[in-house]
Structures are given as structure tokens and as C-alpha cells.
Amino acid sequence: MPIEEYLQKTVQICLGTSPENMLKTSLRICMELAGGESGSILGEEGPALQFLFSDVDELIGLRVPFDSIAGVTVNKNMVVYTYAPSDKRHFDGVDKKIAKQTNYLLSIPIPSIHPSIDNDKPAKNAGAMQILFNKNVFPELDVQNQAHEFNLVDFKNSKLYSEKLKNVFFMLPIIAFGMEVMTLRQTSYQVIHELKNKMISSLSWMGHLKEDICRSNPEIIENDDVKEDFELAESAVHEGAELAKDYLQFTKIYNPEFSSCNLNDILKETASSAKALAENFKLEGFTVELNLDKNIKENNLDAGKLKMAFYNLCKNAIEVLAEYKTEKPKLTFTSNLNEKELFVSIADNGPGMQPEIADNLFIPFKTKKEGGTGLGLTITKKIIDLHVGCIKCKTGEKGTTFEIVI
């Protein structure tokens, strides 16, 4: 397969799945290009290097020291080709973990996407990619007794690079980008998760503070200004906690779990959840109409995340129907099978949206809703993106309709 097709496949993966899956796909492509039997991607984790991805699941999460072959690759910016059984730097914990001896090993530095602070030196590498071979695939290199190590600049001027490994190096910036996105996502998730916990804890302590004031000086808590201050503070903390929760939900959508399921079943479950939500809003006379195509069979979908996407649309609609006290409030679910594409529409009979709102529906943090986070419809669009689909909104005086094609 030409390198252009490999790159096209990788770009498609980048747009439609998580950074973890992007790295797995990129690794498999590099193994295929190099003719390797196995492979791994290692990144820095504190005082060690950690297997971030491997075609051998048992290795993922395992750490190796910086004086290992991978460490030499990362710290010295060297391409290393070696026969592992005779190389003392080979970490024997790897072979113990997989109960198999590593034979020939090619270790390549993964360049960082960050520019160097010192113009005279390259930026610190993001990690190392290692490809394993059962036999010596580079017979021009005798590594039985001693490893061959190449300075990266010299290696790119060698025949080994131009004739056998040049296409592998084309994939490295994509791998580096995937590693960076994964790290940022994990870090932000941890920070926001802790922030959410702090916000929830703050609400609890504000309640205790109010109780203490009531016991010590009840007159203060009855003061209108003090009451308003407490209400504003509690509202701000509550909105912060909701934003953190929505953001955590946003990060989870990049771990899709596709399985065989029926789109109509997802819509039926969403309709039931919408009815329950309407009861909470005391939306009298609320009905749901289901117009579902019986020709739709099972497809490879992430049922949980699609239900989340559809529910977000229903939630927004029900809030509007309740706010404007719409007569005979109603949601209509429609599904159709058009050749290989699945079509879904979710429509309400509310007052419609103003153009400035409709034009910014899927932009994060853009919301006119009091106390809203502006992430609900962004999450919905990302879920549809993960299914390589598209979503459109049509709105007018007779209501709003979201049309989805998967």
C-alpha cells in the first residue's frame, strides 16, 4: 500500500476516534511498513519510560529505566538496532511479562511537537517507538555481538533510511501529536475531576457555614443582603460544579465502545428518558411520537453515547417547551434507512430559536441559557463526529428539528 493511503487512513482515524486508537493504528502501520512482528510506543512517565501502547496488551503500563535501549533512544536521540539477548541494556522484565524472548529490536526516537528552547539543540523527544523482528531484517547490519547506534541526522542520510524506513519516519509526527493530545486530555481530566470535587465540597461547607451563623446570630442570616450573597455564592459554585461535570462527560466521549445494536432501540430508550424528564419539569400534556423505520437492522454503533447525544437534544427541547408553556408540547422521533446511511430527526413544536443562537449551537461555552455550560450540544456533535456522521438544525416559528445522518 502506498504511503499516501496509509496517511489517509491515519487522518481518518484521527478525525473519528480517540487519540489512543489513533496511536494503535499508527503503530500497526509502522510495523507493517518495517516488516516487524511486534511493536510498542513508550513515553516518559516520571523517572522511567512507560509502555503507552503495544500490540501485546500485557506490556501496556509496564515501565523501563532510562538506561534501557528505549532510554538511550529518547535521551541521546539515537536510532538503535540490536539483538536483544546479547544487549545488556534490554530490560528483562519485558520478556518475563510476555513469556517470550525478544530477538531483533529497532528503537526509533519520536520527536516532540514542541519547539526547542535552545536553538542549538533539538527539542526533547516525546518517546520511543520499538519494532521487533524474529529474524535479522537488515542483514547489512551484524548485531549479534554489538548494537548499531545511529545519530538521527546521520541515519537519515543512510541507505537503510532511504530504502527501508523512510515511510516509517513519515508517521512519527502523527504519533507525537497523538501522544500530546492523550497527555493533555488525561491531565485536564484529572484537574477538572479534582475541581469538581472541590466545588461539591464547597457547597457542603457553605451549608455548614449558614447553619453556624444561624446558631450564633440568627439575625445576620435574615439580612436581605446576606441572603443574596449566599444565594449568589451557592449559584456560582453550583454552576462551576455543573461545568466540571459536563467537561468530564466531554472527555469520556473519546473512548467509544462500538457494538452491534439497533438504532431504533436507542431512540426508544431516549424517548422513555425524555418522558421522565418532562414529568420532572411538570410539562402537562407532553407526548412523544415515534416514526421508526422497521427496515433498520443492527449496526456497529456506540449505543450509550448516541443515547447521550439524543438525550441532550431532548433536554434542550423540553426546557424550552416548559419555559414558553407550549400548548400540547411534543417531541417527534423519526428514523429512516437510506441505502447505507441512517437518518434520525428529533423535532419539537416549540417557538424556535433566534438566528444568533442557532448559528452558535455547537460552539463550546456559547449559551444563552441561565446556569448553562454551553457544552451539551458540543458533546452531541462530537458523538456524531465519532460515528463519522453529521448533524444539522432547522428552526422556525413551528419548532426546531435536528437532523442527523450516520
Are residues 60 and 53 in contact, defined by beta-carbon separation less than 8 angstroms? yes
Per-domain boundaries in the chain: 3-170, 179-255, 258-406
Contacts of 303 (CB under 8 A, 6+ apart): 259, 261, 265, 266
* DSSP secondary structure code for residue 328 in this structure: S
C-alpha cell at 77: 536521540
Closest CA to 60 of 74, 44, 40, 32: 40
> What does pLDDT average to in each consecutive run of 10 residues of the chain (406 residues)?
58 59 84 92 86 87 89 92 91 79 92 70 82 92 91 89 89 84 70 75 83 86 83 79 68 72 95 92 93 94 90 92 92 92 94 76 57 66 85 90 93
User: What pLDDT sits at residue 373?
Assistant: 46
Integer angstrom CA distances of residue 297 from 261, 270, 291, 334: 8, 18, 15, 15
Cα separation, 170 vs 5, in Å, equals 12
Are residues 97 and 89 in contact, defined by beta-carbon separation less than 8 angstroms? no
- Could you please report the per-residue DSSP string of 372-389? --S-HHHHHHHHHHHTT-
User: What pLDDT sits at residue 246?
Assistant: 66
User: What pLDDT sits at residue 203?
Assistant: 80
Q: Which amino acid is at 54?
A: S
Burial of 355 from C-beta contacts in 10 A (0-12 / 13-18 / 19+)? exposed
Burial of 47 from C-beta contacts in 10 A (0-12 / 13-18 / 19+)? exposed
- Could you please report the per-residue DSSP string of 194-253? HHHHHHHHHHHHHHHHHHHHHHH-HHHHT-HHHHHHHHHHHHHHHHHHHHHHHHHHHHHT
Angle formed at CA 379 by CA 375 and CA 384, multiple of 5 degrees: 150
Q: Domain 3-170: give its CATH code.
A: 3.30.450.40
User: What pLDDT sits at residue 177?
Assistant: 82
Count CB-CB contacts under 10 A for residue 362.
17
Domains 3-170 and 258-406 share a fold: no
Indicate the fold that domain 258-406 takes in CATH.
Heat Shock Protein 90 (3.30.565)
3-class state of residue 135 by DSSP:
coil
User: What pLDDT sits at residue 346?
Assistant: 96
What pTM, to 2 d.p., does this model score? 0.54
C-alpha cell at 229: 450573597
